[in-house]
A and B are shown apart, each in its own frame.
Chain A
């Protein structure tokens, strides 16, 4: 974990309301693991006060990238950053995807900007280990679909669902995933990893459980320090509270008490 002043290398819009920002930070790039995040200060001001957490989306040499959606004050300020500006970063933080050597297949389920940590995971895992990866990508419409080409470029099988049916399966990505599961295509030695909106994660977790497959989810919660000290970002686990920033953000879905999730 480091605190660095990192230079913005680029900040470009990928679809309306979503941006990719490249940041020069060799120390963080070197040690980042898929599923980890950075906690960044959008401005050296008292308002907005707190840092903002973002999953690491790509790592290349001395650079990391984040993929973010503008949802409020902080991300709006972020979207206006230009090349050459400096941003204060804390990272890499949290526990990422721990994938043991018995896993032969990765089944990824991504909703919206939830693709970010899963893309990093794939780029590390698929290329390094030459194993099979199937990606379920969900979005509202084909215009809002993220990373389809990039995932294909890594040699993965991509399955798409859009809510309005403008591309791929018409409906929610969790419905497409459920359909796929019920057709018996989930082979042994598969690991399911999901990131996206909470209702989606809840469904993927319960479907995975029914199929007796191990499922990892990357969760979000309002954060304070981001490093485990303030105990602000907790969620309820099977054996008491867990810190999203330190015990997660990636959890085995089995360890989460889903009845307590909002």
Chain B
């Protein structure tokens, strides 16, 4: 095949044409970006979070730029499950790429209801369970920080939903390995990490918080080293595949995650900076494999050489 390296990856039952996805909340439901790039080229699309009922989100300002990063407190604004299925999913289905629906809830039953409903729909390839969004006051954070809660949530989700289940981990914990293991024991098929890092910025002129929600989630290059470290730690603690993300701006950044142990990566904030980033990352990974004479992407995963 004209000498191009094979970029296909298998994350358990979820097969991707290449290991580059776009991260939840940074790509909407694909509609806007479809005008700028060919969505068929992506390994997959992780949708903006969907909740059972429509969610209005947080008051403005919702974004603050910080050095090498972005602080956001969108508050999971979305049109709710039914509108998502009717309008957004029907659009996304048209593309030849994997559709991973990011789901969020305020209580366990919300997650179960959404998962049940989505498992009956055509065109959903996997669910990504957002238990880590730090913005939502009710529940959000506690779901993602308590291993027992995670174990039970995943277990119950597996009982009601046959789709591959990706658990998205928050970095706002003392030991991410504990949380990762709990998700694996509960039956998670894949882990994705990291979500945003809880953070805050103050306007010293007005002595007010810069975000309407006071605190928000930090993303972008500023969190990349934290994310790479966590992927490395988790990959040593579990046996399920990992989707790595956090500040990926170019192929080299993505490769850091892969070498540290991620089987796939997701581009987030970089979509705002350059909508072509995911395509450039796919190309760059291909070029890297070719230059290094590595014939399969899979053999690069977790290939970190550590001197002992």
| Residues of A that sit less than 8 Å from B by CB | 1-3, 41, 46-51, 88, 90, 221-236, 240-241, 246, 260
Contact = CB atoms under 8 A, between A and B. Distances in A.
B73 to A, nearest CB: 9
A88 B275 CA distance: 11
B56 interface: yes
B60 A234 contact: yes
Given A51-B272, A232-B72, A241-B77, 10 more contacts: A46-B220, A221-B61, A222-B61, A222-B65, A225-B32, A230-B26, A230-B272, A234-B57, A234-B77, A260-B60
B221 A233 contact: no
A239 B56 CA distance: 11
A49 B28 contact: no
B27 A46 contact: no
Contacts of A222: 61-65
16 contacts: A49-B70, A49-B221, A49-B269, A88-B274, A221-B60, A222-B63, A225-B272, A226-B272, A227-B35, A227-B36, A227-B275, A229-B28, A230-B272, A231-B57, A234-B77, A241-B56
B273 interface: yes
Contacts of B225: none
Nearest to B35: A1
B1 interface: no
A262 B72 CA distance: 18
Chain A binding surface SS class = loop
Contact of A46 (B77, B221, B272, B276): B221
A227 B37 CA distance: 13
Interface bin, chain B: 35 or more
Nearest to A229: B28
Interface string B14-58: 000000000001111001110110000000000010000000110
A231 B72 CA distance: 10
Contacts of A221: 60-61
Contacts of B273: 41, 49-51
B204 interface: no
Contacts of A229: 26-28, 31-33, 48, 271
B72 A228 contact: no
A227 B68 CA distance: 21
A50 B72 CA distance: 13
A49 B65 contact: yes
B161 interface: no
Q: Which residue of A223, A231, A260 has the most chain B CB atoms within 10 A of its CB atom?
A: A231
A225 B35 CA distance: 13
A3 to B, nearest CB: 6
Contacts of B67: 47
Contacts of B64: 222
Nearest to B250: A46
Contacts of B35: 1, 227
A169 to B, nearest CB: 30
